[in-house]
Amino acid sequence: MADEAPVSFLPLGAIIQELRVGGTNIVQGFPAQSLYESHNDPFFGETIGRVANRIGGAKINNLNGGKSYALAANNGPNNLHGGVLGWGKKIWEGPKPVGILEIPGAGKLDDGGESVKFNLVSPDGDEGFPGKVEASVVYTVGAQNVDGKEAILLGIEYEAELVDGADETVINMTNHSYFNLTGGPSIEGTVITLATNTYLPVDDGGIPTGGPTAFSKVEGNKAFTLGPVEPDIDDCFVINEAANAIPIDTRSSPLNKLVTAFHPESKTHLEVYSTEPAFQFYTGKYIEVPAVAGLPARGARSGFCVEPSRYVNAANVDDWKSQMLLKKGEKYGCRIVYKAWKD
């Protein structure tokens, strides 16, 4: 993107480095790609793959005729965000300008939009996952009028295709940006509304123990305020409970608003939409980044995440598996849209 553009990206992880609203960057990050390589344990801005979130026991069961695949146990006993060097830690080809694309379902963009594409080839056996996969992400940036204010829209479209090396693999891509609308060190005071409080209960390692049920900490479609510590949330919320009817490519599905966020002092708004059946909402309890390159240290609750996705550990749950199972000759796909503006 041009220097004056409100959004910037990096080839490493096809990372969203900046999303500026009213002159303020509302995503956590670093000023140089090298700093992401050395300090980005929280996955700031990364494109996550092959499989976002956790895979129980760091093992995929029953693929390609009953085979099992061992993965890196990089989160206790589980695999997290594609492994030690998941797609967010790899160099992508790009960004390549691809003109101005529409963001389906997001309304008409004002003039001046731009789209860029990143590509990645993930070889058979990459981090233990079977099959050679060709993946891409297209970012489309534009402006839109919201009640007389200029909103920045960032559309994300993911695609992945299994091209060789196996008949089946598993895919679940997302973006791992941390948002901070306050302009300060903490997300305290941010008013959040989640589209649902239906979620997947999990064990101590973050692996679901059963199907969707009601979350007790917050209500769906009812605003709540993030305090200095509570509510502490790191859970997968479910929009579509028809687990075995979710297509591997959701791009033709309608956009659903997942999360609305607003900070009353900064007057900054954020809305997150997606075609995905679920989303992880995380209030950043484990962020721990030292002061570097003139930036202050980032600690707990310095950002919150909204990670649209498939169900956690769907690869190992028979009734959920089809939503993450990519077969040779098919394409995985999904879409995410961020809309942000300042009063």
Write out the catalytic residue numbers. 176
Length reported for the chain: 343
Q: Which two tokens stand for residue 327?
A: 């077969």
> Are 134 and 119 within 8 A, CB to CB?
yes
- Measured between alpha carbons, how far is 173 from 153 in angstroms, rounded to an integer? 20
* Inter-residue contact 269 to 296 (CB < 8 Å): no
Q: Are 173 and 334 in contact (CB under 8 A)?
A: yes
E strand intervals along 207-321: 213-214, 224-225, 234-238, 256-263, 268-274, 278-282, 304-309
Locus of tokens 């598993």: 170
- Confirm if 228 and 185 have CB atoms less than 8 A apart: no
